Amino acid sequence: MRIDIEDLHVAYTGRTVVAGAHLVAAEGEITGLVGPNGSGKSTLLRSVYRHLKPTAGRVLLAGTDLRELTPVQSARHIAALPQERGGDFELTVHEVVAMGRTPYKRAFAGDDAADRDVIARALAGVGMTAAAGRRFTTLSGGERQRVLLARAFAQNPDVLVLDEPTNHLDVRHQVELLALLRTQRRTTLVSLHDLNAAASVCDRLHVLHAGAVIASGPPRQVLTPALLAEVFGVRAAVVDHPLTGDPLIAFDHRAPAGTETAAAAEMATGG
């Protein structure tokens, strides 16, 4: 299912955080949100999974305004992995993942054979089958992240909304998680700090800056040295990845303060 965000405004504590955002997450594609801290990425995602109510604008799921759906209907279509992970669950890993089946069950109903199959496949997908009987509270941060992702998979959603899903993961599990998202081919809306990961895994990127979407398109089109200087304040070159051919951003970690601003001004004036 496709997600359309139209003229979205979100404000809380008296401050506008997202101001007139327009973007699309096409069916079956991975759509990335990138931008500096405070640009509005998490706030926008919270509006998609209905943790926050927009002050104006709409979020459409396959053409239907989310406000027309009940929470259960939304949960059958959209699963989220927020940055705020909740408290420590005094549950086993299996029980945490089983929470993803809640939108499909009557109150107090137990797991049936179909539920158990979905849960097993979700655990296997994130490499946590062997931990099914462990207490969630005994897991490392990276292990917890993978279990919560399995819970989202167990929800069997049409749309995945993931806010910094690679946080707390080591390099191997970051690579495995992003590869897993590619194989899922669900409509996925994901925020990522790692621009090279975003360039590799995403079909389309939307760049947020000060609450507005200022650039959209395929990673190679969007992640230019001029944009990186303007939005992120860094000096960088964009080259081809030697293994995959994807855009690879090489940052100049030696650039003195102000170099990136000057470079952006020079590019803007054609100098």
DSSP the chain: --EEEEEEEEEETTEEEEEEEEEEE-TT-EEEEE--TTSSHHHHHHHHTTSS--SEEEEEETTEEGGGS-HHHHHHHEEEE-SS--S---SBHHHHHHGGGGGGS-TT----HHHHHHHHHHHHHTT-GGGTTSBGGGS-HHHHHHHHHHHHHHT--SEEEEESTTTT--HHHHHHHHHHHHHH--EEEEE-S-HHHHHHH-SEEEEEETTEEEEEE-HHHH--HHHIIIII---EEEEE-TTT-SEEEEE-TTPPTTHHHHHHHHHHHT-
Joined together, the tokens standing for residue 106 give 């009557």
Query: How many other β-carbons are positioned within 10 Å of the β-carbon of residue 201?
Result: 22
pLDDT digit string (tens) for 245-267? 999 999 998 865 555 554 444 44
Q: For residues 60 and 124, state if they share a domain.
A: yes
pLDDT digit string (tens) for 117-151? 999 999 998 989 999 999 999 998 888 889 999 99
Confidence tier at 87 by pLDDT (50, 70, 90): low
More confidently predicted of 159 and 173: 159
Q: For residues 189 and 270, state if they share a domain.
A: no
Q: For residues 46 and 160, state if they share a domain.
A: yes
Looking at the chain, the whole-number percentage of residues with pLDDT higher than 70 is 92
Which residue, of 223, 238, 262, is where some domain finishes?
A: 223
Q: For residues 80 and 107, state if they share a domain.
A: yes
More confidently predicted of 263 and 160: 160
Joined together, the tokens standing for residue 128 give 């946590």
Q: For residues 259 and 142, state if they share a domain.
A: no
More confidently predicted of 111 and 159: 159
Whether this prediction's pTM lies above 0.85 is answered by: yes
Interhelix angle 141-154/171-184, nearest 10 degrees: 10
Cα separation, 107 vs 243, whole angstroms = 50
Q: For residues 150 and 255, state if they share a domain.
A: no
Q: For residues 128 and 241, state if they share a domain.
A: no
Cα separation, 187 vs 183, whole angstroms = 12
User: Looking at residue 110, what is its pLDDT?
Assistant: 76
258 is in which domain, residue-wise? 224-271
Least confident of 32-46, 103-117, 168-182: 103-117
Q: For residues 39 and 92, state if they share a domain.
A: yes
Which residue, of 223, 238, 260, is where some domain finishes?
A: 223
Cβ–Cβ < 8 Å for 5, 66: no
Residue 154's nearest CA partner among 120, 179, 201, 119 is: 119
Q: For residues 213 and 266, state if they share a domain.
A: no
Q: For residues 53 and 147, state if they share a domain.
A: yes
Q: For residues 234 and 140, state if they share a domain.
A: no
Q: For residues 118 and 230, state if they share a domain.
A: no
Cα separation, 90 vs 67, whole angstroms = 33
State how many domains the chain has: 2
Cβ–Cβ < 8 Å for 43, 33: no
Neighbour-count burial of 145, counting CB atoms closer than 10 A to its CB (0-12 exposed, 13-18 middle, 19+ buried): buried
Joined together, the tokens standing for residue 268 give 């803007």
What's the CATH code of the domain at 12? 3.40.50.300
